[in-house]
Amino acid sequence: MATASTVYHYCGAESFLSILRNGRLWVSDARKTNDRRELEWFKDLALKHIAKSAAKGDSMLSDLHKALRVRFELIEDVSDYYVCCFSEKKDSVSQWIAYADRGTGFAIGFDANALREKISAALLSPSYSPVPFGAGANGWGFGPVVYVEDGIANAQIDDLMSAIVSAPFIGEESADTARDHIDRVCAFCKHPDFQTEHEWRIVCNTSFLRKAAGLTGSEMLPDTKWRKGAYGLTPYHETVNVLDCIKEVIVGPGNADRDSFEYVKQFLRFSGVKAQVSLSASPYR
């Protein structure tokens, strides 16, 4: 699993002001992102791999494939994950263009370890399983995204198959374990076309939280908020206050002048945030 000491949230000026004024990040419905295969990619790859292995005559895997399809198609699909996205890249033209109002916005650098601890997210292993005795049995996670190609060997599929092979027989418990593994990785796995983003993300499993709150069906958590998104009305939740996790702010290349630099420094001071301020070195405008 990749490691990073600082991760950057690229955003426009309006979002920047909101984060600094309120101290909170928004985790929004992952199915409202710019990735049409969001949350579905790893599930499809995993089921395809199991079906291919079962076709070689393995009746155990054939039974598992049927059990997993029943779970995902008839009982409960992939959990409703809400996400807030970051990048490992400090001054990325593609990030400025896509997420920071074409370079007129900002990149907020967060201390990755401090942020994980602040939101009480689970420590994750390379297979995206919670580390024993780590914090985070609360529906929240934080970590790097993995980009997986169809037909190419990867650690996440290997870990899934290892867990399956080690089971003495396929029953309800082993099928549930496989289903949970696939579901968890789905929140952190994306199509390889997005790998230039070098993404990290905060993940909130709202299905887990709804069950914990005793909600049923399509009932949403009472603290759900709504915003206008690029792909329609979008539900979101807020994190706890994370201002003390901010260590750096980069002014976008479209605003990279002396006045902007000084204004941002003053705004951070008025907001009580001690962070380094710098101008983008990118020539993009």
Region of poorest pLDDT, from 31-35, 141-145, 154-158, 267-271: 154-158
Looking at residue 160, its pLDDT comes to: 85
Looking at residue 2, its pLDDT comes to: 64
Mean pLDDT of 111-116: 96
The CA distances from residue 115 to 29, 210, 238, in Å, are: 20, 24, 14
pLDDT at 164 exceeding the cut of 80: no
What are the pLDDT digits (tens) for 57-100?
888 889 999 999 999 998 889 999 999 999 999 999 999 999 99
b/e burial code for range 216-251 (CB count within 10 A of at least 16 → b) = eeeeeeeeeeeeeeeeeebbbbebeebbebbbbbbb
What are the pLDDT digits (tens) for 167-210?
655 667 778 889 999 999 999 999 999 999 999 999 999 999 99
> For residues 135 and 244, which has the higher predicted lDDT (pLDDT)?
244
Helix, strand, or coil (residue 273): coil
Looking at residue 135, its pLDDT comes to: 47
CA nearest neighbour of 200 among 113, 134, 261 = 113
Return the DSSP state at 71.
I
What are the pLDDT digits (tens) for 16-56?
999 999 999 999 999 999 999 999 999 999 999 999 989 99
The two beta strands, 81-87 and 189-190, are unpaired
pLDDT at 136 exceeding the cut of 60: no
Amino acid letter for position 212: A
Residue 7: φ, ψ to 5°:
-125, 150
CA nearest neighbour of 275 among 113, 107, 117, 144 = 107
Looking at residue 115, its pLDDT comes to: 97
Q: What is the pTM of this model?
A: 0.92
CB 119 within 8 A of CB 82: no
